[in-house]
Amino acid sequence: MSACHKNPNPRIKKRRIRINNLFESVKNKMNFPKKKGEIKTVAVCAAQVPFFRGGAEAHVNALVSKLQEKGLEVDLINIPYKWYPHKQLLKTIEIWKLIDLTESNGKKIDLVISTKFPSYFVNHPNKVLWLTHQFRQIYDLFNTKYSGFDPKSRKDMRMRDSLINMDSKALKSYKRIYTISKNTAERLKKHNMLSGIPLYHPPRLAGRYYASDNGDFILSAGRLDKLKRVDLLLKSLQFCDSRIKCKIAGTGPEYERLQEITAECGISERVEFLGFVSDEKLLSLYAECSMVFFAPLDEDYGYITLESFLSKKPVITKYDSGGPLEFVEHERNGIILKSDSLEEMAKSIESLFFDKKRCEDFGKAGYQKVKNINWDNVIENLVYGEKA
């Protein structure tokens, strides 16, 4: 080997050093995902409506737990959230913008994982988004009875435009965007022209679900909210064979209204409101029911679908239910109601309810659909990137 190769020109050596330093600087600014072992502390950001718990809360709590199981030091940054009056939204956004999560009492925070609106307004040099949902009232729920924004009001429209612009700017600050479902990713693409990679995760009690003989009742489980549309089940039940019963597990603001509907429809003797139930009771309800009715309006993800299938029970959902449609296949593992007619819904429910063999086959097919969904893939992607 020649002497020039053994002892490179000092000028060339300095140039190489400058180029390497420049490359490292650019790489750091681009916030490339860190290598395994370099990320030790993680802050998971969420927004909490005080005194209310649902799928979104179960989602972030499970995420924290699974990150901790991987040996990471994790904390949940959960700020109280209120969306009314509309001006309160701007105040909440500002709170998230002002939070400093670069360190805490001298401890460096290596990674921030943001979830639903407005937690993704947080600033951090290394942040990743796993989007549950945005402020749906200005997006997919706009111009519906669920929005709260009047399209005829200039004030409301100015506020909506401002929120969408702020949203888009905040979302574009993320180098890596994941979503909890294809449905959430499609909303993001439609309204903000941004792409997200769906990451499916199992429900909270995964590993504990089991199947038993089909009972004589349809199960409805989850929060009693208008968007869950449990009223459709009750209203259609009046047109069903009187042998078909229903059990409703859950609490929420619609509890009293649903009881009133039950009385008005003359089906009180066939409907049992269970309120809040323990985990053990919920597992047994899934195991013993004939089928599960879950027909929310444009659901983000829908744990109920996965819980039903892991219990080998078919799911009845609706053509506009969003997330459940990513798992429910019509006449294979469940029924997708394609009509708004209550009488038609009743016929579909009856046809499946009294065909025990079909119920069993649908349940088994549903189980095959979701049995391999796990947390390992989710954590690997969120912490280290999809090419880890």
Give tens-digit pLDDT for 121-150.
Answer: 999 999 999 999 999 999 999 999 999 999
Question: Smallest Cα–Cα separation from 306: which of 328, 274, 279?
Answer: 328
* Residue 35: pLDDT band with limits 50, 70, 90: low
* Cα 229 to Cα 247, 265, 285, 304, 353, distances in angstroms: 15, 16, 20, 14, 20
* Residue 15: pLDDT band with limits 50, 70, 90: very low
- What's the pLDDT at 279? 96
β-bridge partners, 256:
none
Q: What is the spatial distance between Cα 288 and Cα 231, in angstroms, rounded to a whole number? A: 22
* Residue 60: pLDDT band with limits 50, 70, 90: very high
* Residue 55: pLDDT band with limits 50, 70, 90: confident
Record: fold of 41-201+376-384: Rossmann fold (3.40.50)
Domain range list for the chain: 41-201+376-384, 217-370
Lowest mean pLDDT among 26-35, 111-120, 352-361: 26-35
Q: Decide if pLDDT at 29 tops 50.
A: no
Q: Which residue has the tokens 């038993």?
A: 212
Residue 175 three-state SS: coil
Lowest mean pLDDT among 49-53, 148-152, 302-306, 377-381: 49-53
Q: What is the spatial distance between Cα 231 and Cα 349, in angstroms, rounded to a whole number? A: 15
Give tens-digit pLDDT for 309-358.
Answer: 999 999 999 999 999 999 999 999 999 999 999 999 999 999 999 999 99
Q: What's the rounded mean pLDDT across residues 264-286? A: 97
Angular region, 103: left φ>0, alpha ψ -120 to 50, beta rest? beta
Task: Please give the structure tokens belonging to residue 24.
Answer: 């490292």
For the chain, percent of residues with pLDDT exceeding 90: 84
β-bridge partners, 42:
74, 111
Q: What's the rounded mean pLDDT across residues 150-162? A: 96
Lowest mean pLDDT among 10-14, 110-114, 117-121, 321-325: 10-14
Average pLDDT, the chain: 90
Q: What's the rounded mean pLDDT across residues 365-372? A: 98
Record: fold of 217-370: Rossmann fold (3.40.50)
Task: Please give the structure tokens belonging to residue 198.
Answer: 């769906």
- What's the pLDDT at 9? 52
Task: Please give the structure tokens belonging to residue 100.
Answer: 């400093």
Q: Decide if pLDDT at 367 tops 70.
A: yes
User: Quick check: 328 and 302 in contact, CB under 8 A?
Assistant: no
Give tens-digit pLDDT for 160-176.
Answer: 999 999 999 999 999 99
Give tens-digit pLDDT for 64-97.
Answer: 999 999 999 999 999 998 899 999 999 999 999 9
Q: Decide if pLDDT at 28 tops 60.
A: no
Helices (H) and strands (E) counted in the chain, each on its own, are 13, 14
Count of CB atoms within 10 A of residue 347's CB?
15
Would 41-201+376-384 and 217-370 be classified into the same CATH topology? yes
